[in-house]
Amino acid sequence: MSKSSAAANGHALWQKMPKANAELFALTYGTLVTELVRDYETTEEINEQLEKMGYSIGVRCVDEFLAKADQAGMTIPSCRAFGETAEVLAKTGFRMFLGISVEVQMISDSSFSLLIYENPLSLFVELPADPKWKDLHYSNLYCGILRGSLEQVNLKVECTFVKDVLRGDDVNEIRVELKEVLQDGAGEEYQEE
């Protein structure tokens, strides 16, 4: 799928999605993070919980994505390379669900970075200057969403925040590294014992 068709598909799907108020969305997410800060003692535990929540969302996003695309009469072709997958995520997925465009920066055939210039999760957010919070990845939910959605299409990945605007960087950057192409479509949590 070309970059322009992925972007056009993302825009068309965004138009069909029900919208939520961005400020309400950001404040609700902020409340969720605040509760995690109260419930967990370390930033590692908070980051892990955000990633787990994101994973649960991600496994459902693929179904929603394909259903809305089918409903809109769009055909989403199978991606033949990891770079094509990156473009569909950035130009179609992020646009459809959040209304934002994300840039892709290929690192290698098995890794890429997503550059997020406008992050709706971090509206109205300032992290405390206390060094205790220096490792908190406020938007780590994205990493879980990416991991969960890619696992649903048989790609086991590792996602990490590399840069964060809330830390003074000029852009949010999430690195996605392909670890394995899975043979079975079911995620780890859905395997029979």
Percent of the chain with pLDDT over 90: 44
Q: Which own/partner pairs from 126-130 qualify as long-range (CB within 8 Å, at least 24 positions apart)?
A: 126/166, 127/166, 127/167
What is this structure's pTM? 0.81
Distance CA(63)–CA(149), nearest Å, equals 9
Strands 172-181 and 155-163: antiparallel
Distance CA(120)–CA(99), nearest Å, equals 9
Taking each helix axis from N to C terminus, what angle separates 43-71 and 3-16, rounded to the nearest 10 degrees?
Answer: 90
* 3-state SS assignment for residue 156: strand
Q: For 137-193, write each residue's pLDDT tens digit.
A: 999 999 999 999 999 999 999 999 999 999 889 999 999 999 999 886 455 666 565
pLDDT at 14: 44
In the predicted structure, residue 1 carries a pLDDT above the cut 80: no
pLDDT at 162: 94
CB count within 10 Å of CB 156 equals: 15
The residue with greater pLDDT, 17 or 96, is 96
Dihedral (Cα; 169, 163, 122, 34), 10-degree rounding: -120
The residue with greater pLDDT, 97 or 159, is 159
pLDDT at 191: 59
Cβ(50)–Cβ(137) below 8 Å: yes
